[in-house]
Amino acid sequence: MAAADAPARKRDRLKARAKRYMTVPLAVRTADLPRRAASALAMLAVAGTAVALGGVVLDSFIALVALVCLAEFVQLILRAATNWAIRLAAIAFGAAYIGLAAAVLAGLEPYHLIAVLGVVIFTDTCAYFAGRSIGGPKIAPAISPSKTWAGLGGGMVGSALWLAAYMAMAHNTAGRAVLADEAGIGGSEALGWAVVGAVLAIAAQAGDFFESWLKRRAGKKDSGSLIPGHGGVFDRVDGLLPVALIVGALATFA
């Protein structure tokens, strides 16, 4: 009886796996695209204006985003943990994690801030389209059911191309980015920046997975509902936080 049950269980596992990887029509997988795109354009307009104005406006914008992000983080922790010692330790970690990243971003010159923001934007955008259009095996379905290896690869390629192109075409003039008439770096240097972009894309995806794990522990789909089609602020800056910390560490110790 046990021998007969074993092949049956194996067939069930194979069927479940096939069903999990079943191709979903592209129209279904991108049905939320218009709303996401509209929200993304609005966010880019607000963030771009803050970067362009700089100074107190930019610092205030970063501080506001960090405070809202921390508030959403605290709400997730309160739902995910019942022990107050764990809650307080996690909240302290979140305050340091988000606060240090915000401090790094506020201390960056606009030239470098644009590079960092571009890495995260291109990682998220290219990962979204690659994952939705290609599909395929999941990276960690127990943590984030929508994240695929194809999406990660797309995000790495997008970030690599962005950083190489940005460093080639933008000059740092008094801390601001000024477009050049022609590429200002050679092939080997462009390749180096592309590698940096790909590594930072992995860091951004790791930040996304961390937030997904926390939301799953809290039993929440999104960290909030402030941004239509995107969820909360933490949902949008989860990848930016580790990238900012890495950039800050490189600037300090490199």
Mean pLDDT of 145-165: 94
Range of lowest pLDDT (135-139, 173-177, 207-211, 228-232): 228-232
Q: What are phi and psi of 142, to 5 degrees?
A: -70, -25
Model confidence at 92, in pLDDT bands (50, 70, 90)?
very high
Query: 235: closest CA among 212, 219, 202?
Result: 212
> What stretches of the chain show up as alpha helix (H) in DSSP?
2-20, 26-29, 33-53, 55-80, 84-107, 110-134, 149-169, 187-218, 233-237, 240-253
The dihedral region occupied by 136, where left means phi > 0, alpha psi between -120 and 50, and beta the remainder, is left
pLDDT at 135: 84
Neighbours of 115 (CB within 10 A): 23
Percent of the chain with pLDDT over 70: 82
Q: What are phi and psi of 248, to 5 degrees?
A: -60, -40
Instruction: Provide CB contacts within 8 A for 37, sequence distance 6+.
Output: none
Higher pLDDT, 197 or 128: 197
Per DSSP, the residues of 195-227 read: HHHHHHHHHHHHHHHHHHHHHHHHT-SSS-SSB
Higher pLDDT, 216 or 3: 216
pLDDT at 252: 83
Max avg pLDDT among 12-26, 29-43, 127-141, 233-247: 233-247
Look up tokens 């204006």; give the residue: 49
Model confidence at 8, in pLDDT bands (50, 70, 90)?
low
- pLDDT tens sequence across 21-79: 444 444 444 455 666 667 678 778 888 898 888 899 999 999 999 999 999 999 999 99
Amino acid identity at 101: A
Range of lowest pLDDT (35-49, 73-87, 112-126, 176-190): 35-49
Question: Do 177 and 216 touch, CB atoms closer than 8 A?
Answer: no
- The crossing angle, in degrees rounded to 10, of helices 240-253 and 110-134 is 140
Look up tokens 């930016």; give the residue: 240
